[in-house]
Amino acid sequence: MTIYLNGQYMPIEDAKISVLDRGFIFGDGVYEVIPVYSRRAFRLPEHLRRLQHSLDGIKLANPHGDGEWTTIVNELVARNAAQDQYLYLHITRGAAKRDHAFPNPPVTPTVFMMSSPLLTPPAELLQNGIACITAPDNRWLRCDIKSIALLPNVLLRQMAVEAGCTETILIRPESMSGDAFLTEGAASNIFVVRNGKLLAPPKDNLMLPGITYDVILEIAAANGIPHQVRKVAVSEVFAADELLLTSSTKEVLPITQLDGKPIGDGKPGAMFARLHALYQDFKRDVMRQQSPLPPGEG
Ligand code: PDD
């Protein structure tokens, strides 16, 4: 497997970073996960825009312009074998003497990118759906930053694994003004379907603005599927006809069990079937519109 580290491409075994890297010491960095279909990065401008938002959120200058990022992405994809890949892009504030405050003057950031084969969810999951648990969302108030400091997400996701489930759905405890409400999954966004309408929590500081989430809402709008972006109360999650999970690596999945109880009739529903089919069409159309690959690489 070939990776990119600080301007060079190399086998992953040869990649080395300093133990003083602030990513290692403080989790001081941000990341992106970008799907690649048929060797073309999917929604790259949107991923780069979110990367910029995360960098702004941690006050770290972007080490590359979009053109340079695109070159690195295309080169890394070309150097790895799989047709469908997912890229993990990671930037930290670099290596410096340990001090919580930023190094002054700034040091060179560490830029790392790797590619893994992207395996879309197996048919069994699409047919039967996945089981999830709920847990209080005990993360910080800047979940819109795609921070590499993922310990809360790691612990929350592990709760699901230990319960024999796939994902943990996060519920923010009630504020003074109302009910506890849905934010997202430990590593995914969550949609609720009630009475034929798709409900999505608003993109605010309490959730990651998912690229797949945006695609789903675009598809809903383009196909006349009733949808609404608004705060979703925990009671609505448990009373859902359907629950859907989205992410760049899982696309869209039906959640058929929550905290040990069936959602709806316990089977993937009509909204899932429709959105999953439309998502596959959307992917195909977008990839077709992108410029053709050079000869021999198609
Ligand atoms: N995670 N919310 C959280 C907390 C996430 O970590 C992710 C994705 C999402 C979905 O975002 P997108 O649709 O842009 O993938 C929402 C990635 C896949 C990961 O950490 O591996």
Task: Evaluate whether residue 193 is within a structural domain.
Answer: yes
User: Could you give the angle at which helices 44-57 and 211-222 cross, rounded to 10 degrees?
Assistant: 130
| Radius of gyration for the chain, computed over Cα atoms and rounded to the nearest angstrom | 20
Structural domain total, the chain: 2
Whether residues 76 and 143 share a domain: the answer is no
Q: Is 33 in the pocket of ligand 1 (CB under 6 A)?
A: yes
Does pLDDT of 67 surpass 50? yes
pLDDT of res. 161: 98
What is the chain's mean pLDDT, rounded? 96
Does pLDDT of 296 surpass 60? no
CA of 214, closest atom in ligand 1: 13
Asked if 223 contacts 217 with a C-beta cutoff of 8 angstroms, the reply is: no
Whether residues 203 and 226 share a domain: the answer is yes
Task: Evaluate whether residue 20 is within a structural domain.
Answer: yes
Q: Is 51 in the pocket of ligand 1 (CB under 6 A)?
A: no
| Full DSSP string of the chain | -EEEETTEEEEGGG----TTBHHHHH--EEEEEEEEETTEETTHHHHHHHHHHHHHHTT---SS-HHHHHHHHHHHHHHS--SSEEEEEEEE--B-SS-SSPPSS--PPEEEEEEEE--PPPHHHHHH-EEEEEEE----S-TTS-BS--HHHHHHHHHHHHTT-SEEEEEEPP-TTS--EEEEETTBEEEEEETTEEEE---STTS---HHHHHHHHHHHHTT--EEES--BHHHHHT-SEEEEEETTTEEEEEEEETTEESTTSS--HHHHHHHHHHHHHHHHHHHHSPPPPTT--
State mean pLDDT over 184-193. Answer: 98
Does pLDDT of 289 surpass 90? no
Domain of residue 16, CATH code? 3.30.470.10
Whether residues 97 and 147 share a domain: the answer is no
State mean pLDDT over 60-74. Answer: 98
Whether residues 40 and 96 share a domain: the answer is yes
Whether residues 226 and 180 share a domain: the answer is yes
Residue nearest ligand 1's atom 1 by CA: 187
7: containing domain: 2-117
Task: Evaluate whether residue 65 is within a structural domain.
Answer: yes
Pocket-testing residue among 203, 247, 275, ligand 1, by greatest number of atoms within 8 A of Cβ: 247
Whether residues 62 and 139 share a domain: the answer is no
Whether residues 90 and 129 share a domain: the answer is no
Residue nearest ligand 1's atom 5 by CA: 187
Whether residues 59 and 127 share a domain: the answer is no
Whether residues 113 and 170 share a domain: the answer is no
Domain of residue 249, CATH code? 3.20.10.10
pLDDT of res. 287: 85
Measure 104 CA to ligand 1 centroid, in angstroms: 32
Whether residues 137 and 236 share a domain: the answer is yes
Measure 210 CA to ligand 1 centroid, in angstroms: 6
Length of the chain: 298
Confidence of residue 292 (pLDDT cuts 50, 70, 90): low
Query: Cα–Cα distance between 89 and 86 in angstroms, integer?
Result: 10
Whether residues 34 and 74 share a domain: the answer is yes
Task: Evaluate whether residue 298 is within a structural domain.
Answer: no
Query: Cα–Cα distance between 169 and 185 in angstroms, integer?
Result: 4
Whether residues 73 and 148 share a domain: the answer is no
Task: Evaluate whether residue 290 is within a structural domain.
Answer: no
pLDDT of res. 298: 41
Smallest CA-to-CA distance from 197 within 229, 171, 169 is with: 229
CA of 146, closest atom in ligand 1: 6
State mean pLDDT over 28-36. Answer: 98
Q: Which of 117, 137, 157 is the last residue of a domain?
A: 117
Catalytic residues: 146
Q: Which of 117, 134, 150 is the last residue of a domain?
A: 117
Task: Evaluate whether residue 296 is within a structural domain.
Answer: no
Q: Which of 91, 117, 143 is the last residue of a domain?
A: 117
Amino acid at the residue 29: G
The per-residue pLDDT for range 78-117, each reduced to its tens digit, is 999 999 999 999 999 999 999 999 999 999 999 999 999 9
The per-residue pLDDT for range 226-281, each reduced to its tens digit, is 999 999 999 999 999 999 999 999 999 999 999 999 999 999 999 999 999 999 99
pTM here? Answer: 0.96
